[in-house]
Amino acid sequence: MMKSRWKRRLAGCWLAAALAGCASVNTTQSGVVGVNRSQSMLLSSQQVEQLSARGYAQQLSQARAAGVLNADPALKARVNRVAQRLIAQTPVFRPDAARWKWEVNVLKKDEPNAYAMAGGKIMVYSGLVTQLKLTDAELAAVVGHEIAHALREHSRESMSQAYAQQMGLSLVGALAGLQQSQLDLAALVGDVALSKPHSRTMESEADIIGLELMARAGYDPNAAVKVWQKMQAAGNGGGAEFLSTHPSGATRIRDLQARIPQVWPLYQAAAAGKGRG
């Protein structure tokens, strides 16, 4: 059966709503950066978190078996320290994040990469820090960006879109008298949560929420601009996955720069607080 354009259009959330109930939600509070786009969700947070937790555990056990999990205790401690300062700020965007089972791990791999899966499962590749020679503030910019994807449940949103599309195609098949195919959720997770790039809208939400998180945690938000400039320079030579799913261009850097005045008072307040302590 041909996957023609009109069939894909049929597979929108309105169709899914008729079949299974599609919720329009806003996963986070807007913060000073003002992210308030409502999101169409077909899958529940619990479904996606369970699948993510399973996928994360699998990656940890594979890394452990290969001897590449948290192989450098000093790096692991450093990444953890930065991540914990950011995690402490997440309730500003969603109070329930304070109860998430956050995990932070470092995979020894010479590739710049990092991700945070649904429910707060963070992974940083050693190559991100060593190859790009990141400062703590630059590391906070990348980890903050990934935490923001998790807070906004972008994977749940992408998976819901993919699921609705599959469901729509199945319905078209059923109407045509063909047998309805099984929807493979697990395959969707692997596909969407780990390898597919997020939309540009999602990327820019993660950029500005991440910027606010790092400022509130007392990291100079200008480091976010620096780190994307470093990525841009590194991207010219390599084919790393993170760089391909996170294109660092002039627009991204300019948008971040434009947001710095908005979060600057938060950074100053946090830095002053640290000075007192």
Instruction: Give the separation between CA 152 and CA 39, rounded to whole angstroms.
Output: 9
Active site residue 146: yes
Nearer to Zn ion, 15 or 202 (CB): 202
Residue 115 CB, nearest distance to Zn ion (Å)?
A: 8
- # of chain residues touching Zn ion (CB under 5 A): 1
Residue 269's Cα: distance from chain center in Å? 27
Residue type, 241: E
Which residue, 12 or 245, has its beta carbon nearer to Zn ion?
245
Q: Bridge partners of 216? A: none
Residue 49's closest CA among 153, 136, 140, 124?
Answer: 153
Segment near Zn ion (CB under 5 A); pick from 94-102, 114-122, 205-213, 232-240:
205-213
- Residues 125, 142 contacting (CB under 8 angstroms): no
CB of 202: closest distance to Zn ion in angstroms?
Answer: 7
Task: Establish if 256 lies at the interface with Zn ion (CB under 5 A).
Answer: no
Rama region for 122: left / alpha / beta (φ>0; ψ in -120 to 50; rest): beta
Whole-number minimum distance, CB 206 to Zn ion, in Å? 5
CA dihedral for 257, 207, 95, 97, sign (positive or negative): negative
Position 24, amino acid = S
What is the identity of the amino acid at 33? V
CB of 204 to Zn ion, least distance (A): 9
Q: Which of 11, 107, 117, 206 binds Zn ion (CB under 5 A)?
A: 206
Please pick, among 49, 103, 138, 146, the residue that the annotation labels catalytic.
146
The nearer residue to Zn ion, 51 or 148, going by C-beta atoms, is 148
| Residues forming the site for Zn ion (CB under 5 A) | 206
Active site residues: 146
